[in-house]
């Protein structure tokens, strides 16, 4: 065994493995871990991003966040949690229902799958600009044609309507991805199980809730987890649609961090907010993952 492990072939395989993985490791270090460590340092400083030497101030930035000195960040967190809750519900419910429908055999099934998935491969910024045009000029034309008052509402100028507009656009853009995941889970369910349930006299509704849903446990866990993480870091669609308006009503946590660091030039406080938000996301995702994994075991 020792001779085999130290043979020239094995040493060459080890060298090739290191050579192929080293670029990826270096890129991950440069893109993720080094900036993360640097943001941890900057969170303890007062720095405008221009001066050469940041001023070390300890935990003052974190005290500002957790005191009354940063109400914008608290409001942004509340907005983000509210958006995430509705996004998770709408996305998963609609995606599951559409996935069940698209697993039926009919002529347009494959075409509709592609059409639902198409928005997901588009840039969120482009999607935001498209829907901004729809909410303004598109709805204005519909109002002229139909005279219905719903098309004449200020969908991006009213705080409540702007929030619902973001939820609708975010759900519309992401729906296709979760449909694909649910379709994969539905097609993995053994046909024998469904046939046995039918022979036992189970109706379509009973088969769905008592057979399909329990067997979709892993797919549901994956979709809930991914929709949670994607909704918590919502940024580009808000920047394209409302830019945080009207009156700061649609500022998400990520947008507030961006504003603090790159618009207010307060990189220290912005880095501290980013770290606090990172911990919140980490805790929430782990709790959700554990809860749904436990339900899978029980099922």
Q: What is the mean pLDDT of the chain?
A: 89
How does pLDDT run across 198-214, given as a tens digit for each residue? 888 888 888 888 888 88
Whether the pLDDT of residue 290 is over 70: the answer is yes
Q: What is the pLDDT of residue 296?
A: 66
Q: What is the mean pLDDT of residues 6-22?
A: 81
How does pLDDT run across 101-140, given as a tens digit for each residue? 999 888 888 888 989 999 999 888 889 889 999 998 999 9
Q: What is the mean pLDDT of residues 214-242?
A: 92
**Contact by Cβ (8 Å): 43, 62:** yes
Q: Indicate the DSSP class of residue 155.
A: T
Residue 169 structure tokens? 């656009």
Whether the pLDDT of residue 3 is over 80: the answer is no
Confidence of residue 4 (pLDDT cuts 50, 70, 90): low
CA dist 261 and 79 (Å) reads: 20
The string of DSSP codes covering 55-89 is: EE-TTHHHHHHHSTT-HHHHHHHHHHHHHHHHHHH
CA dist 136 and 217 (Å) reads: 41
In whole angstroms, how far apart are CA 90 and each of 150, 179, 201, 210, 263? 21, 12, 32, 22, 33
Q: What is the pLDDT of residue 299?
A: 43
Q: What is the pLDDT of residue 210?
A: 86
Q: What is the pLDDT of residue 29?
A: 93
CA geometry: angle 112, 113, 117, nearest 5 deg: 115
Beta bridge partners of 46: 55
Q: What is the mean pLDDT of residues 153-163?
A: 92
């Amino acid at each position: 065994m020792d001779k085999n492990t130290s043979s020239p072939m094995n040493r060459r395989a080890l060298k090739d493995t290191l050579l192929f993985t080293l670029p990826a490791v270096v890129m991950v270090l440069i893109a993720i871990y080094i900036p993360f460590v640097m943001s941890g340092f900057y969170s303890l400083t007062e720095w405008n991003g221009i001066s050469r030497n940041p001023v070390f101030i300890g935990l003052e930035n974190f005290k500002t966040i957790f005191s009354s000195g940063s109400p914008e960040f608290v409001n942004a967190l509340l907005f983000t949690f509210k958006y995430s809750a509705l996004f998770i519900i709408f996305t998963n419910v609609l995606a599951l229902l559409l996935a069940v429908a698209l697993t039926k055999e009919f002529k347009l099934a494959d075409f509709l799958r592609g059409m639902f998935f198409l928005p997901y491969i588009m840039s969120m910024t482009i999607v935001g600009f498209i829907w901004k045009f729809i909410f303004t000029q598109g709805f204005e034309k519909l109002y002229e044609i139909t005279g219905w008052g719903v098309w004449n509402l200020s969908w991006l100028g009213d705080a409540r309507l702007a929030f619902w507009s973001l939820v609708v656009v975010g759900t519309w853009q992401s729906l296709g991805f979760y449909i694909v995941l649910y379709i994969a889970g539905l097609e993995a369910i053994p046909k024998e199980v469904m046939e046995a349930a039918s022979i036992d006299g189970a109706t379509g509704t009973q088969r769905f809730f008592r057979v399909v849903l329990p067997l979709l446990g892993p797919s549901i866990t994956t979709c809930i987890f991914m929709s949670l993480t994607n909704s918590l870091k919502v940024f580009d669609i808000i920047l394209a649609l409302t830019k945080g308006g009207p009156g700061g009503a649609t500022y998400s946590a990520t947008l507030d961090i961006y504003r603090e660091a790159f618009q207010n030039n307060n990189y220290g406080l912005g880095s501290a907010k980013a770290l606090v938000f990172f911990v919140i996301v980490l805790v929430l995702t782990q709790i959700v993952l554990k809860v749904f994994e436990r339900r899978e075991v029980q099922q």
